[in-house]
Structure 1
Amino acid sequence: MRDLYSNIATRLALAPAVQSASVDGVAIDTAGFNSVAFTVNTGAIVSAGDFSVKLQGSDASGSGFADVAAGFVDSNAPTTLEAASAYKLGCRGNKRYARVVLTKAGGTSIALGASAVLGDPTQAPVA
């Protein structure tokens, strides 16, 4: 099958909400897939909110997460996220689990949510 729909899976990486502190996203299990990317959608920012996103990886779902080296991340996200925007972050790391991390450097809050897109499945079509 050559359609995209049958060759990707999506997972909730960070539930859409108004975030007022740094927060770790859900650990995404990449087993059965050879690639993962994250989409981050922002809404309103309050009081000059200064927030950024990064990717972390681990061999275990509940511990051992560390920042993915810059050379293994492709991203169009700026250092400080902007209101009402969409970004993508691709991870070329070799860890089984990946997550997005929102970091607060200042301000009050940001409305934000993130999804994981798993691609290049070992078995297709993906349900």
Structure 2
Amino acid sequence: MRDIYSNVLVKASLKPAARTATANGTSVDRADGSNASMYQDALVVLNVGTVTDGTHTITIEDSDDNSSFATVAAGYLEGDTPPALITSNDETVYETRYTGGKRYVRVVTTVTGSPSTGGLYTAEVVLSNPRRAAVVHP
């Protein structure tokens, strides 16, 4: 099947929360076990709600072994690379395509400025174009 449901899988990295501290998102395995096939495309979607205070710097990291993560080089990212989130970024969606070849991807937020209420945002990784279709949804 070549429909969107059979060829796309969405995984949460930063789950929705009011963030006042630095956090590593959950890693996303591009060779998801339910399909046992490497997804060739990954799109990071950052959905920003309200940022009341603090500065929230978003980075995308990758890893071969799900243990040693490093910031993805700019040459492996396309699209909207999120700026540091401040109050003027409210109600914005950023989409960044990951073109690197590492198996694991995660989103990290670094929070500075001692926020009291912080920022509400979430980050998902949309996996698509599996080498072996169709996607098996959990």
Report if TM-score (shorter chain) is over 0.5. yes
Task: Kindly tell me the number of residue pairs found equivalent between the two proteins.
Answer: 125
* Identical columns (%): 34
Distance 2:8 2:30 in 1: 11
Unaligned runs of 5+ in 2: 32-36
SS, match of residue 21 in structure 1: coil
Distance 2:114 2:78 in 1: 27
Deviations 1:12-70 (A, max 9, x none): 111100010121111110012111111111111123x3212111011112x21001100
Unaligned runs of 5+ in 1: none
Q: Say which of 55, 58, 66 aligns to 2:70.
A: 66
- Give the TM-score normalised by the residue count of structure 1: 0.90
Does residue 60 of structure 2 align to residue 51 of structure 1? no
Q: In 2, are the aligned partners of 1:46 and 1:107 still within 8 Å (CA)?
A: no
Does residue 127 of structure 2 align to residue 122 of structure 1? no
Counterpart residue number, 1:95: 102
Counterpart residue number, 2:34: none
| CA drift at 1:107 | 5.5
SS, match of residue 75 in structure 2: helix
Coordinate RMSD, CA, aligned: 1.5
Distance 2:40 2:119 in 1: 32
